[in-house]
């Protein structure tokens, strides 16, 4: 599957924002602002107040929110996963966009949850923190949260996810229909289109 112009544009924005964030002195903009305002944050030198994407709903009952998306171009087809970890102010603390091989959307959704939880569980700064892993796949969330559900196709992944949840303090994965905004969706599409794989992690 060929990468669309919009997917390619998103990939370029990610790379430009990440470079300016870590290689330009005096750049105090959060990554979230830079992605939304490439020209102002990477070219204009004056301070601009950070603002969030209007379609994103900040966490309320938990301090951090990790929106994840997994999708495939067929059944099976090229599959990609994407996710964005943000605090209640919309500041991005991490993100990922990965191609995960050939599979269906169920596989991709499980792998997206697995990747997000693995990143959190291996970060000592997040142990004990309130974190919501949010997916719009009811089936994937049910498999991960319900101890009585046994999906043989994803048994190893589910066991690893539950181990990571235990490390984090028995956090639960949350189902929220159409919870993810365009950014994690673009990250997953970039992955399924075999775009540049990356994991950006501030923690």
Residue with tokens 């290689």: 23
Where residue 120 falls among pLDDT bands split at 50, 70, 90?
A: very high
Cα 170 to the center of its chain, rounded Å: 20
Structural domains present in the chain: 61-201 (3.30.420.10)
| Contact predicate 140/107, CB 8 Å | no
Beta bridge partners of 15: none
pLDDT tens for residues 66-90?
A: 999 999 998 899 999 999 998 888 8
- And the tokens for 83? 């996710």
**Whether the model pTM is above 0.75:** no
Rounded alpha-carbon distances, angstroms, from residue 84 to 2, 71, 150, 186: 24, 15, 28, 11
Q: Tell me the Ramachandran region of residue 125: left when phi exceeds 0, alpha when psi lies from -120 to 50, beta otherwise.
A: alpha
Most confident of 14-28, 135-149, 181-195: 181-195
pLDDT tens for residues 14-53?
A: 766 666 665 554 455 555 555 655 554 555 433 333 334 4
């Amino acid at each position: 599957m060929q990468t669309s112009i919009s997917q390619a544009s998103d990939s370029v924005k990610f790379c430009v924002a990440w470079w300016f964030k870590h290689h330009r002195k005096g750049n105090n903009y959060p990554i979230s602002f830079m992605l939304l305002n490439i020209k102002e944050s990477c070219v204009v030198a004056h301070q601009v107040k950070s603002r969030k994407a209007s379609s994103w709903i900040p966490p309320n009952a938990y301090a951090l929110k990790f929106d994840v998306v997994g999708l495939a171009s067929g059944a099976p087809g090229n599959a990609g996963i994407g996710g964005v970890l943000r605090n209640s102010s919309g500041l991005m603390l991490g993100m990922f966009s990965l191609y995960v091989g050939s599979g269906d959307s169920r596989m991709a959704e499980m792998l997206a949850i697995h990747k997000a939880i693995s990143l959190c569980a291996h970060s000592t700064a997040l142990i004990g923190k309130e974190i919501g892993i949010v997916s719009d796949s009811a089936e994937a969330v049910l498999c991960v949260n319900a101890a009585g559900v046994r999906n043989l196709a994803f048994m190893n992944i589910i066991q690893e996810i539950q181990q990571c949840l235990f490390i984090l303090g028995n956090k639960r994965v949350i189902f929220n229909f159409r919870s993810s905004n365009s950014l994690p969706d673009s990250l997953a599409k970039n992955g399924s289109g075999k775009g540049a794989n990356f994991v950006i992690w501030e923690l």
